[in-house]
């Protein structure tokens, strides 16, 4: 089957790739663009490991058809650090030991960024609900929630 040519801005770079129309954005990013930071944990939108931002909205890239992002702006975990400087969330996850195996980490970082973009001073409960679409089986979420709290504090300049 002929594949569709797609152009999108991925992590700041205009990027062209080919994908079959029924292919998920996740598989297109991983197989065609070579960005394997977003992971497939379920393929049905239940685990959040494939979270990316499309036009500044967080979503599960496994539920997006690749051609939908024609002309869109996409941010994956690979684009979170700025010129080699880690995003405060990345730094706080490292310092707060907010990851064990690390498979869910890219999705959590993107979802947490989406939260802090909207709400720079979330309560613990708000953080927990905002991250409810991201499953982690290693940490019990405790250190993840604390890392997001810490990053929020830093980003607010406190």
Partner 1 sequence: MAITEENPGYKWVGTRPIRPDGLEKVTGKAQFGADLMLPGMLFGKVVRSPHAHARIVSIDTTAAEAMVGVKAVITGSDFPDLAANGAHASDIDVANNAIAREKVLYEGHVVAAVAATTREQAEAAAKAVEVTYEILPHVLTVDEAMAEGAPLLHEGMITKGVDPAPEEPSNVASKILHERGDLEQGFGEADVVVEREFTTKPVHQGYIEPHAAVADANTDGRAHIWCSSQGHFQMRAYSATVLGVSPGTLKVTAAEIGGGFGGKTVIYLEPLAVRLSQRAGRPVKLVMDRDEVFRATGPTSGTRIRVKMGVSNDGKITAAEVWMAYEAGAYSGSPVGAAGMTAIACYDIPNFVVEGYDVVCNKPRVAAYRAPGAPMAAFAVESVLDDLARDIGMDPIDIRLANAAVEGTQASYGPKFPRIGFVETLEAIKDHPNYTADLGPNQGRGVAAGFWFNAGMMSSATVHINENGTATVVTGSPDIGGSRQSMALMAAEELGIPYESIKAVVADTETVGFNDVTGGSRVTLATGAAVVDACRLIVEDLRARAAKTWDVEVDQVEWVDGQAQHVDGSQPPLSLSDLAAKSGRTGGPISANASLNSRGVGAGFSTQLCDVEVDPETGVTRVVRYLTAQDAGRAISPDYVEGQMQGGVVQGIGWALNEEYIHDQDGVMENPSFLDYRIPVASDLPMIDCAIVEVPNPAHPYGVRGVGEVGIVPPMAAVGNAINDAIDVRMTDLPMSPVRILEALTEQRD
Partner 2 sequence: MKYIAPSSVEEATSLLSTSPSAQVFAGATDVVPQLRAGRSAPEVLVDLKKIEELVSMAKDDDKWTVGAATPTANLTEDEAFSGEFPGLSEAAGLIGSDQIQNRSSLGGNLCNGSPAADSVPAMVVNGARAVIAGPNGTRVLDVAEVVTGPGQTSLEADEFIVEFEIDRMPARSGDAYLRMIPRTEMDIAVVGAGARVTLAEDGSIEEAVVALGAVAPTVVRVPDAEAALVGNTADDETLSAVAEAASGVCNPIDDKRGTVAYRKQVAGVLAKRAVLIAIERAEQRNGSK
Question: Closer to partner 1 at the Cβ: 34 or 71?
Answer: 34
Tokens read off for 158: 């406190």
The answer to whether residue 30 forms part of the interface with partner 1 (CB under 8 A) is yes
In the complex, what is the shortest distance from the CB of residue 2 to partner 1, in angstroms, rounded to a whole number?
Answer: 13
Question: Closer to partner 2 at the Cβ: 8 or 64?
Answer: 64
The answer to whether residue 102 forms part of the interface with partner 1 (CB under 8 A) is yes
The answer to whether residue 51 forms part of the interface with partner 1 (CB under 8 A) is no
Instruction: Pick the binder of partner 1 from 94, 119, 120, 156 (CB under 8 A).
Output: 94
Contact partner at residue 8 from partner 1, partner 2, none, CB < 5 to 8 Å by partner kind:
none
Contacting positions for partner 2 (CB under 8 A)? 4, 20-22, 24, 43-46, 48, 51, 54, 57-60, 62-65, 67-68, 111, 114-115, 129-130, 132-134
């Amino acid at each position: 089957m002929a594949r569709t040519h797609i152009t999108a801005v991925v992590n700041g770079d205009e990027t062209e790739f080919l994908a079959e129309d029924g292919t998920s954005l996740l598989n297109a990013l991983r197989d065609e663009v070579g960005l394997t930071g977003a992971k497939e944990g379920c393929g049905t939108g239940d685990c959040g490991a494939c979270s990316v931002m499309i036009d500044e909205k967080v979503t599960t890239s496994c539920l997006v058809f690749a051609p939908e992002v024609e002309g869109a702006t996409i941010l994956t975990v690979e684009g979170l650090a700025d010129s080699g400087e880690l995003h405060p969330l990345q730094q706080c996850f490292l310092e707060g030991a907010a990851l064990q195996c690390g498979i869910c980490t890219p999705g959590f970082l993107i979802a947490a960024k989406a939260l802090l973009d909207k709400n720079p001073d979330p309560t613990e409960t708000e953080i927990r609900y905002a991250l409810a679409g991201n499953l982690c089986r290693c940490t019990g979420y405790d250190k993840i929630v604390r890392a997001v709290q810490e990053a929020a504090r830093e980003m607010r300049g406190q």
